[in-house]
């Protein structure tokens, strides 16, 4: 069974970039095939990774349901078999990792159904990988739908503001309220301007009862990569933010035998 690492947080904190960098880290450190799961309806993990997506869970769900409604069952397959086949066709295969993308349902399709499907198939596919990295949608809806249950390490990403840290606290509280099967709950404070700000925000987070995995400095190289649509693989190894994040992962993932 795979070790599952998830990222959550409000929009604009850089969680998708960090999820992409976590995939890069696991490939470099372990050489194992990683499954990336973009569980955000506003899918953009593929952009961070620099790959194209040819199909999404939200899209194929509507197509499969329409085919079933019209009685177009290929080879007499059951509904379950049709979904299994089509889900496998959506997987993007890349060097060192595969990627499964939720995406938006077509028409008036329900996000809840797409969420349920991606949770189910993440569980089914996990046996084929050593590590799964999940980029959850912004905010906390994924938690109320229980799409993040069963993770080994949940990183909540905050920007370098008190408001961001408070949002992280609400996420922690919701995880506990829902009794989700989550191992470590760790906070990353991203894009910190200086050591004084880092110390103040870390102290504030700890006052709220949060466990701070570390802080990541504001970094022009990452900003420029995002601005120009370059993938995380092109962020140089000497980047201050990359070094800081890799150090966080080194410490946080020790128990996963990496």
Determine the structural domain holding residue 239 and report its residue range.
Answer: 3-249
Other Cβ atoms less than 10 A from the Cβ of 98: the count is: 17
* CATH, residue 206: 3.40.50.300
H or E element that contains 6: strand 3-8
Question: pLDDT tens digits, the chain, 258 residues: what are they?
Answer: 789 999 988 888 999 999 999 999 999 999 999 999 998 777 889 999 999 988 887 777 666 666 556 556 666 666 667 777 777 888 999 999 999 988 765 445 455 555 666 677 777 778 889 999 999 876 555 555 555 557 899 999 999 999 999 999 998 888 888 777 788 999 999 999 999 999 999 999 999 999 999 999 999 999 888 888 899 999 999 999 999 999 999 999 988 766
Label the pairing between strands 131-136 and 212-217.
unpaired
Identify any residues that bridge with 98 across adjacent strands, giving them in sequence order: 35, 93
Q: How many CA atoms lie within 13 A of 182 on its CB side?
A: 26
Residue 255 lies in a domain: no
Residue 258 lies in a domain: no
Residue 254 lies in a domain: no
H or E element that contains 178: helix 162-178
Are the CB atoms for 151 and 4 separated by under 8 Å? Answer: yes
pLDDT of the residue at 11 = 84
Query: How far apart, in whole angstroms, are the C-alpha atoms of residue 222 and residue 237?
Result: 11
Are the CB atoms for 192 and 223 separated by under 8 Å? Answer: no
Distances (CA, A) of 164 to 14, 43, 72: 12, 22, 49
Residue 32 lies in a domain: yes
Tokens 């939200």 locate to 58
pLDDT of the residue at 133 = 95
Residue 256 lies in a domain: no
> Positive or negative, the Cα torsion across 123, 233, 19, 28?
positive
pLDDT of the residue at 231 = 95
pLDDT of the residue at 33 = 94
pLDDT of the residue at 32 = 93
Query: How far apart, in whole angstroms, are the C-alpha atoms of residue 240 and residue 163?
Result: 24
Query: How far apart, in whole angstroms, are the C-alpha atoms of residue 210 and residue 214?
Result: 11
Pick from 34, 14, 19: which is nearest to 148 by CA?
A: 19
Are the CB atoms for 197 and 183 separated by under 8 Å? Answer: no
Tokens 């709220």 locate to 208
Q: How many domains would you assign to the chain? A: 1
Q: pTM of the full predicted structure?
A: 0.87
pLDDT of the residue at 48 = 94
């Amino acid at each position: 069974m795979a070790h599952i690492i998830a990222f959550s947080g409000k929009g604009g904190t850089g969680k998708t970039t960090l999820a992409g960098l976590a995939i890069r880290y696991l490939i470099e450190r372990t050489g194992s095939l990683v499954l990336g799961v973009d569980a955000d309806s506003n899918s953009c993990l593929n952009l961070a990774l620099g790959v194209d997506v040819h199909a999404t869970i939200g899209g194929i769900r509507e197509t499969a349901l329409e085919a079933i409604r019209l009685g177009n069952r290929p080879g007499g397959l059951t509904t379950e078999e049709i979904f299994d086949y089509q889900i496998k066709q959506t997987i993007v295969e890349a060097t060192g990792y595969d990627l499964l993308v939720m995406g938006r349902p077509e028409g008036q399709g329900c996000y809840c159904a797409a969420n349920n499907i991606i949770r189910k198939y993440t569980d089914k596919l996990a046996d084929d990988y050593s590590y799964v990295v999940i980029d959850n949608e912004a905010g906390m809806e994924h938690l109320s739908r229980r799409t993040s249950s069963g993770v080994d390490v949940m990183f909540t990403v905050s920007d370098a503001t008190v408001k961001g840290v408070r949002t992280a606290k609400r996420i922690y509280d919701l995880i506990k309220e829902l009794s989700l099967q989550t191992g470590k709950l760790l906070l990353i404070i991203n894009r910190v301007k200086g050591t004084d700000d880092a110390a103040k925000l870390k102290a504030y987070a700890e006052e709220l009862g949060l466990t701070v995995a570390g802080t990541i400095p504001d970094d022009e190289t990452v900003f420029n990569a995002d601005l120009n649509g370059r993938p995380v693989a092109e962020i140089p190894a000497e980047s201050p933010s990359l070094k800081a994040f890799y150090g966080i992962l080194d410490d946080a993932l020790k128990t996963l035998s990496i």
